[in-house]
Amino acid sequence: MKKWLLKYMKDHAWLITLSIVIVVISALVDIMPPYIVKDAIDGYITNTSLPKAERLQGVSKDAFLFLAVISSSFLLNFLSLYISSYTGAKIVYEIRRDLFDHVLNLPMSFFDKTHSGVITTRITNDTQNLMEFFTTVVTSLVKDAFLIVGIIFMLVKLSSILLLHLSPVLVLVVIVTVVFRKYARRIYNIIRSNIAKINAFLAEHIAGMTVVQAFEVREIKKKEFRDITQEYYENAIKQLKLFGFFRPSIDWLYSFGIALIVWFGARYVYNQRIGIGTLFAFASYLDMFFSPIRDFAEKFDIAQNSLASADKIERILKNEREELGRGGRKHVEKGIVEFKDVWFAYEDENWVLKGINARFEPGGLNAIVGETGAGKTSMLSLLNLTYIPQKGDILIDGTRVHDYDLLELRRQIAVVPQEVILFSGTILDNVRLFDESIPEEKVEEALKKVHALEVFQKFPEGIKTKVTERGGNLSAGERQLIALARAVLFDAKILVLDEATASIDTATEARIQQTLFELAKDRNVITIAHRLSTVKDAKVIFVVHEGRIVEVGKHEELLKKKGFYHRLYSKLKEGGEEVGKVEDRADRSWQDSAKKTFGGTMEEFGNI
């Protein structure tokens, strides 16, 4: 049994104990009816040695007893089902709640390597399967085990000689069941992984449908999907055959057992070695014995399913959470950011950042430039500990970022990411991040600062317009405006902008630029820049190349060096952008122009 699952069970120990006790009692009660009938037949109905009145009285007594036993069996079964379902639902609710809480606190590296479809399945389906564990496994299997032991005891008590005749059948039942179990488990695991593959495939391709359709890879994808469903189909058929064989063979063994009993039983009845009631009870017990075995396949499936789910949930739980509030420092005073020989890799030793040294100060824009994949986004994602560098230190106001309270730290660094993701809700909700204590006027003020208010006011429902999943009903530029307004609203000491205006028209961008310059007066604004307008007026420019900072300085100084920056810059000009006329050009980023010049391969761009 899993340790973590035990922990949840412990909290409801007495409910679980109660349901097991009830299950055991109900198994005992369920065993009684055939014996009562046997008593009525052998003790009274066929017992000619007793006077008639006594025989009738005896039969009535047994009939009442029978009724009482059947009624209490009904009551006990109801109670055990109710209590176990209640306990199961409660435990599963707690697990689901804690699991999501756990996932919320996992580091970004976990999400890089885990498919979102997988996480969803864990929190919804797998927890549901665990519920089956409590309702089916705990109650049915425990009950079946007690029933089988009880029945064998009764069979011995009734007639051990009949049982002896039956023993070859029972041995065969055991063999068939053991063999079945072995194959069922194997095929079961294969089928699970087939289903997981189908789910992952669907999740990925439905989310990426625009790409699938735009690039006309529909035929290829159709074939891929056909292949994986085919594999699933073939295994499902194998499983069906196995199950199809198991149940009828158990049924056959049952009928064979009954035939044996009638065959031998009749002889013993003639010889008066056993009563007719005993024969009846014996047959009834045999029926009771086979019914849990018949359902075994199905219950086995459920049990296996819930255990597999427990395993998978455990794998998620094993991922360590980020420790919130590890450090004690809470306030960012000035917002001076320093990178000291920072080395970072997403995995193993594939260094993305190789010894970054940089100092970003408030007052004027800090710009970072460099070609695609140079490591710009990675650099800034270390700042609020989205990822943790393997070597080196990042200091904010002279204190290592690790020594800040993570929650407070993140609150004081506003990020406008490269890819803005919005949540279902209104524009208003998305700007204030669902914090209703922030008044609407403040949100409007922030939107105004980034010149977005006029844009959204044109919408039919203004800033109360609904945003669909991930912001699908807004343009890329509109999404960026929302993210910018959010950053302004939360008034952080450090403002990080990752190509924040890449999709915004040049006229609006110029105005936003003005706002940024004003904001930069008393806070640290670090921007990954892509347009010359931003770079030219920046206080310092950091040129990143293959994970290193290769040049630092102002636009004019860097140009004079005739190094990396000069090359980036002249390529940009060749790509069609002229200094001084920058504002006339819409939507042209460093990468876009580089791609245009070099047919899109960034490696080439880096090597020039």
Ligand X SMILES: Nc1ncnc2c1ncn2[C@@H]1O[C@H](COP(=O)(O)OP(=O)(O)OP(=O)(O)O)[C@@H](O)[C@H]1O
d(CA 353, CA 343): 5
- By CB under 6 A, residue 512 contacts ligand X: no
The residues, ordered by sequence, that sit 6+ positions from 253 with a Cβ below 8 Å of its Cβ are 169, 172, 173, 176, 290
- To ligand X, the closest distance from the beta carbon of 568 in angstroms equals 12
Query: Between residues 289 and 564, which has the closer beta carbon with respect to Mg ion?
Result: 564
Query: Between residues 399 and 418, which has the closer beta carbon with respect to ligand X?
Result: 418
Strands (E), 361-419: 366-369, 391-396, 399-400, 413-416
Query: Between residues 98 and 112, which has the closer beta carbon with respect to ligand X?
Result: 112
Q: Which residue do the tokens 């699952």 mark?
A: 5
Q: Residue 447's CB: how many other CB atoms inside 10 A?
A: 26
d(CA 368, CA 382): 15
Q: Decide which of Mg ion, ligand X, none touches 477; Cβ closer than 5 to 8 Å per partner kind.
A: none
The encoded tokens of residue 86 equal 């209640």
- To Mg ion, the closest distance from the beta carbon of 590 in angstroms equals 11
Among 249, 372, 386, 515, binds ligand X (CB under 6 A): 372
d(CA 129, CA 449): 51
Q: In residues, how long is the chain?
A: 608
- By CB under 6 A, residue 88 contacts ligand X: no
- To Mg ion, the closest distance from the beta carbon of 376 in angstroms equals 5
Q: Which stretch binds ligand X (CB under 6 A): 57-65, 375-383, 389-397, 512-520?
A: 375-383
Tell which positions 380-419 bind Mg ion, by CB under 5 A: 418
Among 129, 378, 527, 593, binds ligand X (CB under 6 A): 378
Among 88, 257, 370, 477, binds ligand X (CB under 6 A): 370
- To Mg ion, the closest distance from the beta carbon of 368 in angstroms equals 10
- To Mg ion, the closest distance from the beta carbon of 540 in angstroms equals 19
d(CA 275, CA 201): 65
Q: Using alpha carbons, select from 470, 477, 522 the residue that is nearest to residue 499.
A: 477
d(CA 301, CA 383): 48
φ, ψ of residue 147 to 5 degrees: the values are -60, -45
- By CB under 6 A, residue 375 contacts ligand X: yes
d(CA 266, CA 167): 18
224 contacts 198 by C-beta, under 8 angstroms: no
- To ligand X, the closest distance from the beta carbon of 544 in angstroms equals 7
Tell which positions 345-364 bind ligand X, by CB under 6 A: 346, 352
- By CB under 5 A, residue 377 contacts Mg ion: yes
The residues, ordered by sequence, that sit 6+ positions from 193 with a Cβ below 8 Å of its Cβ are none
Q: Using alpha carbons, select from 117, 103, 115 the residue that is nearest to residue 316.
A: 103
Among 418, 426, 515, 597, binds ligand X (CB under 6 A): 418
- By CB under 6 A, residue 430 contacts ligand X: no
Among 112, 204, 440, 461, binds ligand X (CB under 6 A): 112
- By CB under 6 A, residue 571 contacts ligand X: no
Question: x/- binding map, residues 413-442, to Mg ion, per CB under 5 A?
Answer: -----x------------------------
The encoded tokens of residue 551 equal 């040049």
d(CA 299, CA 20): 18
3-state secondary structure of 398: coil
Virtual torsion, Cα 506, 528, 455, 488, nearest 10 deg:
-140
- To Mg ion, the closest distance from the beta carbon of 418 in angstroms equals 5
Tell which positions 289-348 bind ligand X, by CB under 6 A: 346
- By CB under 5 A, residue 527 contacts Mg ion: no
Q: H helices within 382-449, ranges in order?
A: 406-411, 427-431, 440-449
- By CB under 6 A, residue 597 contacts ligand X: no
Q: Decide which of ligand X, Mg ion, none touches 389; Cβ closer than 5 to 8 Å per partner kind.
A: none
- To Mg ion, the closest distance from the beta carbon of 389 in angstroms equals 17
The residues that touch Mg ion, with contacts defined as CB under 5 A, are 377, 418
The residues that touch ligand X, with contacts defined as CB under 6 A, are 112, 346, 352, 370, 372-378, 418, 591
